[in-house]
């Protein structure tokens, strides 16, 4: 992997053609990582994206992309899940149909925690193998609709009620 570090977040966003209204701390593009600082948390986050991308695939909807990345933290650190669960419960108001909007996802840092807890809920519901297969094909939403006759919005409502 190659890591490029930028002087500040604005420079990073310009290089990656990310709109300035969006808050970007790092970006993974295949095996090239971009970060606005030498922050181990950001570098670990983007490295995880790179591994998932190369081994399983990419999913363009942030709730699944960022959620699956966040879920990988839970495999190694139960405290990460408990922390994200607390953040999720405190910020349920953010979990609405806008949550599925690619352009609005990064407006709240809490969305990463919420996505991770949601993806864990989903994996617990359908199983890791099935989630991974649907994710790798870019068809998580279709899988839920076909197998469970549920839209993503319905599953989000079920998830909120489970908390």
Reported confidence tier of residue 84, pLDDT bands at 50, 70, 90: very high
Written as one string, the DSSP assignment of the chain is -EEEE-SSHHHHHHHTT--TTS--SEEEETTEEEESS--HHHHHHHHHHHHHHHHT---SSHHHHHHHHHHHHHHH-HHHHHHHHHHHHHTGGG-SGGGG-TTTGGG-THHHHHHHHHHHHHHHHH-HHHHHHHHHTT-HHHHHHHHH---HHHHHHHHHHH-
Point out the least confidently predicted range of 12-21, 60-69, 77-86: 12-21
pLDDT for the residue numbered 33: 74
**Long-range Cβ pairs for the range 151-155 (8 Å, 24+):** 152/63, 152/100, 153/97, 153/100, 155/122
Q: What is the pTM assigned to this prediction?
A: 0.82
Chain segment 100-149, per-residue pLDDT in tens: 766 666 667 888 899 999 999 999 999 999 999 999 999 988 998 888 88
**What are 11's two structure tokens?**
């420079």
Q: What is the mean pLDDT of the chain?
A: 84
- 10, pLDDT greater than 90: no
- 161, pLDDT greater than 90: yes
| Residue with token string 């870019």 | 138
Select the more confidently predicted residue: 71 or 94: 71
Taking residues 12-41, report their average pLDDT: 72
């Amino acid at each position: 992997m190659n890591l490029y570090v930028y002087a500040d977040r604005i420079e990073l966003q310009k290089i990656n053609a990310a709109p300035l209204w969006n808050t970007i701390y790092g970006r993974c593009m295949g095996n090239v990582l971009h970060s606005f600082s030498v922050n181990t948390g950001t570098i670990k986050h983007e490295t995880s994206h790179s591994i998932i991308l190369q081994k399983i695939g990419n999913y363009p909807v942030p709730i699944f992309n960022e959620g699956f990345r966040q879920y990988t933290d839970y495999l190694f650190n139960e405290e990460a899940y408990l922390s994200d669960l607390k953040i999720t419960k405190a910020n349920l108001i953010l979990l609405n149909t806008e949550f599925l909007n690619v352009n609005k996802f990064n407006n709240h840092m809490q969305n990463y925690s919420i996505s991770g807890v949601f993806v864990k809920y989903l994996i617990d519901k359908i199983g890791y193998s099935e989630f991974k297969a649907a994710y790798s094909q870019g068809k998580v939403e279709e899988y839920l609709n076909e197998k469970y006759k549920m839209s993503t919005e319905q599953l989000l409502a079920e998830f909120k009620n489970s908390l």
